[in-house]
Amino acid sequence: MNNYIDHTLLTSNANHEQVTTLCEEAKKHQFFSVCINPSFVSYCADQLKGSTVKVCTVIGFPLGANTTEVKIFETKDAIVNGADEIDMVVNISDVLDNRWDKVEAEIAAIKKACNGTLLKVIFETCLLTNEQIVNLCELSKRAKADFVKTSTGFSSGGATVEHIQLMRDTVGAEMGVKASGGVRTHETTQAMITAGATRIGASASVNIVTGITSVTDGY
């Protein structure tokens, strides 16, 4: 289970001491990655040098409302600074307005900017209908994204087993599915994996794998 987890700290008041602890916990428990805001990417890359832990960061976070050009710049900058994985937030307003061509074009543009770096697409499923989730899965697949992802963890809800099952059923076996937002226990994590998640975004990662209380706010 440990290597499913993106050990996450995305709160606005996160400081270097907390990020250092995040990296140390990720190395100790052999989590897949740390997921941090872009300003911490180069610091985490230095902290994790020589380890197997990847550096994941977020783009257009948490609202998805940046222009595509800004998201492209953010993506390229993050990769130069040492990011191994990119989690981008779709423009949720465009999704709700059914501007599917624009949404797909943006994901494709970010994928091109990734230049081989793994790309996850964050949906914010709590704001969407099942039909919209299916549409997003299908166009993310066409745009060559590597993962679809439920949530930022900063909206009105997080991952659900039902949404993970729907996303897995839609994208098939070849794409990753990431459950994030409100995943805080071993039991919930296992339920998400059973439903089809291949990655878990969590701030309560240490609690999930050991039962020791860890960070539970935000993600």
Catalytic residues: 87, 149, 178
Mapped onto helix, strand or coil, the DSSP state of residue 101 is helix
DSSP H helical segments within the chain, as ranges? Answer: 16-29, 41-47, 68-80, 92-96, 100-114, 130-142, 161-171, 186-195, 205-210
Is the alpha carbon torsion for 60, 200, 143, 78 positive or negative? positive
**With left for phi above 0 and alpha for psi between -120 and 50, is residue 24 left, alpha or beta?**
alpha
CA gap 17, 99 in Å, rounded? 42
